[in-house]
Amino acid sequence: MDWSKAKNLIIAALIVTNLLIGWQYLSMLHAEGARADKNIQSACEFLEEQGMKVSADIPVSSEKLPVLFVSIDRESEDADDEIEYKGRPLIVRGGKASVRLLEPGQQAAWTISASEALLKLYAQLSQEGSFYSGMEVKSADLVYLLSLGDSQSAAEDTAVPAWRIVTSGGTYYIDAYAR
């Protein structure tokens, strides 16, 4: 057996295999992008049939994001400091407090898409009876949300990814983790 020829055949077979795997991966990414575009289009068509106008550019992809662990200082006067993590702003709801990022969580989870968040918003508003025909979606972006709530003694808490959807009827936050 000629080992030189065998080695060359094995290398050629591995190159062909890698090319096939790469082509399949790229076609899978293209199909996912097309599916995401179709989901956004379908969601927007449904919402417009219900009377909600979508004038915002809706983000296509979902992301894998961790939770953020933060420290809370309710006595501080610097409550207006804006914190960002990887370009995503941290929004504090439920009171004034100074917040400092401690660390991101170890495990990241996939977020829902913006089209899913819009449909969840529609369902939530319809259930509450606060949806009205003519409502307009002005923007949708992924943020980190910290809800202070009733716990006034907590010194640390967790901020989670949420979709901030700004409409003509107000600003709404939809949990971005799929459940």
CB 164 within 8 A of CB 91: yes
Fold of the domain spanning 47-175:
Lipocalin (2.40.128)
Q: Model confidence over 86-141: pLDDT tens digits?
A: 888 888 887 777 787 888 888 888 888 888 899 999 888 888 887 777 888 898 99
All structural domains of the chain with their residue ranges: 47-175
Q: Model confidence over 85-101: pLDDT tens digits?
A: 888 888 888 777 778 78
Q: 92 exposed, middle or buried (CB, 10 Å; 0-12, 13-18, 19+)?
A: buried
The reported pTM is 0.75
* pLDDT mean over 11-29: 93
- What pLDDT is recorded for position 16? 94
